[in-house]
Chains A and B, each alone.
Chain A
Amino acid sequence: MDNKEDKGWSPYLAGALTGVVIILSAGIAGQYFGASTCFVRIAGFIEQIFSGEHVVSSEYFSRIAPYVDWQVMMVLGILIGAFISSITDGSFQIKAVPDMWAERFGPSPLKRGFFAFIGGIILMFGARLAGGCPSGYGLGALVQLAVSGLIVVGCFFAGGIAFANIIYRRG
């Protein structure tokens, strides 16, 4: 269990400091947060290995071309930052099945992996249709008072809350 004496920070403090990072990235690099666009770039990059022509002729991959940009590096940075933070405070833990999931759906890593994969397909399809993910619409668009940010963040939570409660409802 991870609960005993978890030395995490207040989410208000960590969140507000993230707000400062958002301001700095806008001020220094002119870049706004986002994470889902780079999944398109990386998917295009992987597809290119198998069929370069298919990617070149794709309308979507010509709009969002497979190359390494600020956001690809930023998302890679998230992995590194979380690793450094968790290793240095002892919260790093190799774990294949989350506690809450195991309690409801059992301890099988294969079952958990399968559903994580299927959910991943669905959520990324939804994110690209909406035009972004919680990073892009919350930390990028809503921060700039965009109407789209408010609509999409509202729908993320409305959909997520509705479906999570359906999934976890005991029959």
Chain B
Amino acid sequence: MSTLINGLITGALFGFLLQKGRAVRYDKQVGALRLKDMTIVKFFFSAILTGMVGVTVLHKLGISPPLILPTNIGANIIGGLIFGLGWAITGYCPGTSLGALGEGRTDALWGIMGMLVGAALFAELFPVINETILTWGKEGSITLPQLFGINDWLVISIFVAGGLVLFYWLEKKGL
């Protein structure tokens, strides 16, 4: 039960911050994809870089065990690109669609219903996909430090440096 309450509180904080960052609405999502307004990129990468440092510390201290989504190169690339097509049309992703609905954007409800249909459709086709696309380039749960054989903190330093350069460039361009 406490896990469920924890989930609700975590989500409420996330939704509150997404909305405060004005990151949930269509104009911001598609604005980023059209390279006109990078609000969501700033939000997303600020969250990732901050989370990366803290979560790695927690892993090192053994407080929270890692849970690494496996690399399936074929499915990762094909699925990622298909997602991009749908995202460009709907203008919400699964998490932000709920946030957009929360701030009164009723078109998000249509998006959410479509997403439920998409999930059901995938479940129907899963037996076939599991035998085909999901077998292409199965690499297991690997991390970037393992792949390149370098220290975690070096990888994080590269991400943070890259992120700061990106942020500096976006501000300079006024995006």
Taking Cβ atoms with an 8 Å cutoff, the residues of A that contact B are 2, 6, 8-33, 35-36, 39-40, 42-44, 46-47, 58-61, 68-86, 89, 91-101, 109, 112-165, 167-168
- Interface status of B165 (Cβ within 8 A of chain A): no
- Nearest A residue to B67, CB-CB: A32
26 example contacts (A-B, Cβ-Cβ < 8 A) are as follows A9-B17, A11-B42, A24-B10, A27-B58, A46-B116, A73-B7, A74-B7, A74-B11, A75-B95, A77-B13, A85-B103, A97-B107, A101-B91, A120-B90, A121-B118, A122-B83, A123-B83, A124-B114, A131-B69, A135-B93, A144-B52, A146-B68, A147-B143, A148-B72, A152-B79, A167-B88
Contact of B133 (CB < 8 Å), options: A13, A39, A129: A129
Q: Name the distance in Å between B23's Cβ and chain A's nearest Cβ.
A: 6
Q: Are B8 and A21 in contact (CB under 8 A)?
A: no
Q: Are A130 and B105 in contact (CB under 8 A)?
A: no
Q: Are B115 and A16 in contact (CB under 8 A)?
A: no
Chain B, interface size category, equals 35 or more
Q: Are A28 and B86 in contact (CB under 8 A)?
A: no
Interface SS majority for chain B = helix
Taking Cβ atoms with an 8 Å cutoff, the residues of B that contact A are 3-27, 30-31, 33-35, 39-40, 42-52, 54-56, 58-59, 63-73, 75-108, 110-124, 126-127, 129-130, 133, 139, 141-145, 147, 152, 155-156, 167
- Nearest B residue to A15, CB-CB: B46
- Nearest A residue to B103, CB-CB: A86
